[in-house]
């Protein structure tokens, strides 16, 4: 159906645009609350890192790896603070947001200025079929996939395989890709300065820690934390837009507010996971008003419970989303390779 002539679709667009005005009053951050959030996230990460090294040094190696799980959770939470800084949502002043964000980027292995730029493009283009490729998970339509050569189909299947998407992919992204001038890093001096400055700071800190405790202990302590946190982060980003009834449209019918509210999920997580992920699961509200600090998002849902029914995704449902790999334009939903084959056998349009 042509959404440009769909009364229901038009109504949803008006509702989505109206919500942006309602959400404005939740935007102002509290400097005290932000500093507390930073302290209760960074402090435990440092403590857990030290405990991991101590357990390894004292021979309690069986304790080292289990401690990497909560440590990775705190590192994910630091990334979410960096994320809010990138939106200008964590502190009132831009300088405070940017310099805290840059410092955290050293810990998360993410060049802050480059990431902020690509993430802004993601927010401005999410759900637009003509503007895919920057700051998102590569997603093909059924028609595009069928037009590929056999080799390129195999490469797409490899890219979308869970072992690559949530295993090899996160390691490559944070350890290698963020170190090299790919994509927008070639478009000007600022991405280069951001990337190389972050790399230099990472090298200095890593060298200091290796000098203090040795190469082996450093890799055994920090390696699992970083790899787990990277996988967690990619998983969260994946389920925020890769669910069955997300929204993708061609440029002529695409609407920013519609894509934000209905193309982003509300990931319903247990309380402890909501805390470690800094409420990023309330992603539809975040996309509609990215200047809301993450610690105000639960208040938005309490005062506007109707938002809790939009894009709702449970933990079990999120696991099922892994199989969704292609956008079916005729049915306006993400489907699996198996569903595509069934449609082709049945003679349905691609």
> In the prediction, which pLDDT does 179 show?
85
Which of 107, 95, 94, 100 is CA-nearest to residue 45?
Answer: 107
pTM for this predicted structure: 0.91
In which residue are the tokens 């802004």 written?
Answer: 120
In which residue are the tokens 């902020």 written?
Answer: 116
Quote the CA–CA distance of 14 and 21 in Å, as a whole number.
Answer: 11
Per-residue pLDDT of 207-227, as tens digits, reads 999 999 999 999 999 999 999
**What strands, in cross-sheet order, belong to the sheet with 140-141?**
140-141, 326-328, 333-335
Give yes or no for a contact between 196 and 24, defined as CB atoms under 8 angstroms apart.
no
In the chain, where are the structural domains located? 3-344
Most distant CA atoms of the chain, gap in Å: 69
Quote the CA–CA distance of 103 and 105 in Å, as a whole number.
Answer: 5
Averages of pLDDT over runs of 10 residues in the chain (350 residues) are 38 71 94 97 98 94 93 98 97 96 96 91 94 89 96 96 95 88 65 88 96 94 96 96 94 92 95 97 96 97 94 94 95 94 76
């Amino acid at each position: 159906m042509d959404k440009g002539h769909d009364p229901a679709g038009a109504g949803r667009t008006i509702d989505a645009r109206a919500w942006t005005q309602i959400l404005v009053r939740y935007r102002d951050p509290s400097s005290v609350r932000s500093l507390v959030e930073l302290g209760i996230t960074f402090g435990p990460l440092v403590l857990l890192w030290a405990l991991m090294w101590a357990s390894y040094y004292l021979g309690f190696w069986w304790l080292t790896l289990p401690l990497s799980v909560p440590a990775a959770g705190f590192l994910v939470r630091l990334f979410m603070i960096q994320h809010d800084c990138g939106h200008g949502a964590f502190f009132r002043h831009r300088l405070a947001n940017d310099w805290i964000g840059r410092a955290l980027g050293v810990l998360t292995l993410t060049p802050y200025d480059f990431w902020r730029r690509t993430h802004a493009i993601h927010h401005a283009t999410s759900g637009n079929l003509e503007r895919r490729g920057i700051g998102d998970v590569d997603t093909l339509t059924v028609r595009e996939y069928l037009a590929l050569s056999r080799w390129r189909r195999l490469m797409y299947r490899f890219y979308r395989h869970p072992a690559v998407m949530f295993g090899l992919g996160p390691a490559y992204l944070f350890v290698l890709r963020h170190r090299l001038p790919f994509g927008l890093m070639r478009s000007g001096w600022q991405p280069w300065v951001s990337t190389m400055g972050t790399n230099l700071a990472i090298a200095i800190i890593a060298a200091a820690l290796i000098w203090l405790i040795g190469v082996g202990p450093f890799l055994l302590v920090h390696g699992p934390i970083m790899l787990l946190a990277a996988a967690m982060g990619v998983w969260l980003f994946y389920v925020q837009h890769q669910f069955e009834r997300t929204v993708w449209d061609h440029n002529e019918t695409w609407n920013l507010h519609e894509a934000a509210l209905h193309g982003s999920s509300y990931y319903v997580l247990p309380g402890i996971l909501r805390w470690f992920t800094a409420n990023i699961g309330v992603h539809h509200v975040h996309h509609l008003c990215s200047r809301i600090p993450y610690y105000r998002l639960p208040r938005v849902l309490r005062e506007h419970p109707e938002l809790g029914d939009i894009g709702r995704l449970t933990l079990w449902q999120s696991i099922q989303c892994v199989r969704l790999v292609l956008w079916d334009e005729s049915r306006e939903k993400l489907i699996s390779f198996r569903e595509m084959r069934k449609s082709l056998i049945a003679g349905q349009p691609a």
